Amino acid sequence: MAIKLIMTWDILPSKEQEYFEFMVRDFIPGIQKLGLEPSDAWFTVYGDQPQIMTAIRSATIKELQQVLHSSDWERLTSQLLDFVEELKYKIVEDRPGFQL
């Protein structure tokens, strides 16, 4: 059964340019190297919600758990925290369409 990792965060003020460079240069290629598939990305323009929501697919929960416990994942999320705050994530069954 396919699994989806849904992540949310807010970009730190004055870190926007560095954040977008990190995402393109390191984060997205890094998660792909780990065997995960980026599937969705949403930017909140208005309202009291996390600024960014992204979804990443994994073929199985076992594969995802292995990634989440790896040193490479630890490095990527540690680097991400240089540019964001309020990082949260949850694991859900992958279904078509928008998921919260």
Q: Does residue 100 sit within a domain?
A: no
Q: Does residue 54 sit within a domain?
A: yes
Per-residue pLDDT of the chain (100 residues; tens, 9 = 90+): 799 999 999 999 999 999 999 999 999 999 999 999 999 999 998 888 999 999 999 999 999 999 999 999 999 999 999 999 999 999 999 877 666 6
Q: Does residue 72 sit within a domain?
A: yes
Query: What pLDDT is stored for residue 100 in this prediction?
Result: 62
Residue ranges making up the domain that contains 21: 3-93
Query: What pLDDT is stored for residue 47 in this prediction?
Result: 86
DSSP one-letter code for 30: H
Residue burial 57-74, b: 16+ Cβ < 10 Å; e: rest: ebeeeeebeebbeeeebe
Q: Does residue 99 sit within a domain?
A: no
The total number of structural domains that make up the chain = 1
Q: Does residue 98 sit within a domain?
A: no
Q: Does residue 79 sit within a domain?
A: yes
- Which residue in this structure is represented by tokens 């994942």? 73
Residue 84 · residue 12 · CB < 8 Å = yes
How many other C-beta atoms can be found within 10 angstroms of the C-beta atom of residue 12?
A: 15
CATH code for the domain in which residue 65 is found:
3.30.70.100
